[in-house]
Amino acid sequence: MKTITYILGILGFALVFAGGIIYAIQSVLSITAAIFLWVGLLLILFFLYVNFSDIRDLLLKRSTRYGANMAVVIVIFLAVVVLLGFMSVNHKKRVDLTKTGRYTLSEQTIKILKSLKKDVKVVAFYRSEEETYHAMLRQNAEDLLQEYSYHTPKFTYKFIDPDRSPGLATKYGVSEYRIMLLMSGGKQEKIGFESEEKVTNALIKVTRDEVKTIYFAKGHGENDISSIQKLGYKAAKDAIEKENYLVKELLLMNEERVPSDASVVIVSGPKRDFLQDELDKLKKYVENGGSLLVMVDPGHPLTVKNFLEGYGFKVGDDVIFDTQSRVYGANELTPVVYQYDKDHPLTSEFNLATYFYLINTVDIEKDKKKGQYQLAMTGPNSWAEKDLKKWSESGEAAFDEGKEKRGPLSIAAVKTISVKGATEPGVEESGKLKEGRFQFGKIIAFGDSDFANNTNINLAGNGELFLNTIGWLAEEADLISIRKRDAKTTPVTLTVAQGRAIFWIPVIVIPSLVLISGIGIYSRRRWMR
């Protein structure tokens, strides 16, 4: 009879354990779980009642006291583990071990987060139902927002289920699912879907005091920002707008001056000469604190060349060849650039290779005091071919030791121009004059414009270099970085019950069985002595 009661007691504990696991996985007290728990409790109570005297005698034994001491040690150990876990939540270091870097934000986003001066609050409207699809969407959103909040305490978020809290959804003016609302300083921006690009763009919008305008000059055969053809600049325009700039075209001959809201003026691949009046407007703009990006191709207009040379640039009448390009799968007319000036903030941390097709040299004498730097250089196997007539007729070129220059060759350079009156008492700490102008005008010149066209902007580091250049010229230092590539993921979709099973079985069940087995073996050995 006693053997039967022990068997019933063990069965009772097993049923209670199984019922608890079923409830933990399903998160609902199903009929099966309830029956297991109830029958198990009845069997345990029956066992305790029948064997009360034996249990009392067992508790009075010396071995039981030793066992109790061991239990206390185990409890203390578990408490220490829990305390360490609690401390790790507040003092943690996240490491992304996924192959695609799914849980790693881009350097650009991290820079923006660490430079936040305003608190940003995010309210995410997602359904809290545990149905597979909606649970997956909510988890993706939470993973993304958690990564943002990890980098700065100024970024906080919370989730609201529009179905369960319709009043709050109405308060925020949201009537849809899968919506994030970013708010800061009285501004708010609503986005759909969980995407780093969308969240970062919205973050910039709600924290920036102004939307800066980028102008593309036109009227001289420049690259067309509305063209979707291979040589067009539609992709460049879209990329700039994703950085939260306003993009406009500028016909200088119809304007009295460069518009006052111009943060940067871009002259991209002009094929015709500028009028002197237009060049005077650009000169006045730069010397009053404006920023100018000039990208000239081989066969550039003489007036543009003279304009740049007036500020110390040396624009070559040449084409750069590079035999090393064959190693990278390109031809000799596509120099691969991987040397950048580490003293200038635009290129100090830039380490991506860039490709330029049909490019001429743009050099300047390096002088830190004057803000003159050679930003990018070709490799040592390149040379500047000057006999363009022979090359165009025969299609062949060779380095001429006495007449031509061997690489490294400068293909991009920068010059800063002091604004008249910048050293006078009207200068604020922000680096701006009281009239809103900056202390320095800036010019960056490239010997090629094709590197940022629809075909090449997504090639290697071309797009990053182009956007970083605009960011520096527009006084947006926190946008100078390496942008994250779109990651291709192969997610594994689990049901809610499967997800809980993956947690409970390896984390709770198996360790518990090992612990109980250890305690049983230890106790048996103690009693057999």
Whole-angstrom distance, CA of residue 292 vs CA of residue 217: 10
DSSP, res 335:
P
In the chain, residues under CATH classification 3.40.30.10 are 107-206
Alpha-carbon radius of gyration of the chain: 34
Residue 523 is predicted with a pLDDT of: 61
The tens-digit pLDDT sequence of the chain (529 residues) is: 677 877 888 888 888 888 888 887 777 778 888 888 888 888 888 877 777 777 676 666 666 666 667 777 777 877 787 777 666 655 556 665 555 556 678 887 888 898 888 899 999 999 887 667 778 888 889 989 999 998 899 999 999 998 888 888 888 888 888 899 999 988 888 888 778 888 887 888 888 777 899 999 999 999 999 999 999 999 999 999 988 899 999 999 999 999 999 999 999 999 999 999 999 999 999 999 999 999 999 989 999 999 999 999 999 999 999 888 776 667 788 898 989 999 998 998 888 899 998 999 999 999 998 899 999 999 998 999 887 777 776 667 778 787 888 889 999 999 999 886 554 433 334 444 444 445 789 999 999 999 999 999 998 899 999 999 999 998 876 555 555 555 555 555 566 677 677 777 787 778 877 777 776 676 666 655 5
Q: And the tokens for 489?
A: 């993921």
The number of CA neighbours under 13 Å toward the Cβ of 293 is 24
Q: And the tokens for 91?
A: 């003092």
Q: Strand order of the sheet with strand 373-377?
A: 246-250, 213-217, 262-268, 291-295, 440-446, 410-418, 373-377, 339-340
Burial class (CB in 10 A: 0-12, 13-18, 19+), 465: buried
Identity at 25, one-letter amino acid code = I
Identity at 75, one-letter amino acid code = V
User: Any idea what the Cα angle at residue 191 is, between residues 187 and 197, rounded to 5°?
Assistant: 100
In the chain, residues under CATH classification 3.40.50.880 are 210-479
Q: Which residue has the tokens 């969240």?
A: 199
Domain 107-206: give its CATH code: 3.40.30.10
CATH class of 210-479: alpha beta
User: Any idea what the Cα angle at residue 46 is, between residues 45 and 47, rounded to 5°?
Assistant: 90
408 preceded by cis ω (within 30°)?
A: yes
The two beta strands, 155-160 and 120-125, are parallel
**Three-state SS for 44?**
helix
**Per-residue pLDDT tens for 306-362?**
999 999 999 999 999 988 877 666 778 889 898 999 999 899 888 889 999 899 999
Q: Across the chain, which distance is largest between two alpha carbons, in Å?
A: 113
Identity at 133, one-letter amino acid code = Y
User: Any idea what the Cα angle at residue 274 is, between residues 273 and 275, rounded to 5°?
Assistant: 120
Residue 131 is predicted with a pLDDT of: 67
Give how far Cα 286 sits from Cα of 315, 337, 420, 431, Å.
19, 28, 11, 16
Question: Which residues share a beta bridge with 340?
Answer: 376
Identity at 56, one-letter amino acid code = R
The two beta strands, 362-363 and 314-315, are antiparallel
Whole-angstrom distance, CA of residue 421 vs CA of residue 258: 20
**Per-residue pLDDT tens for 277-312?**
999 999 999 999 999 999 999 989 999 999 999 999
Give how far Cα 8 sits from Cα of 32, 33, 43, 59, 252, Å.
19, 18, 6, 21, 94
H helical segments located in 61-210: 62-90, 107-114, 132-151, 166-171, 196-207
Reported as type and span, the H/E element at residue 293 is strand 291-295
Output phi, psi for 123, to 5 deg.
-115, 115
Residue 152 is predicted with a pLDDT of: 92
Q: And the tokens for 291?
A: 């920023």
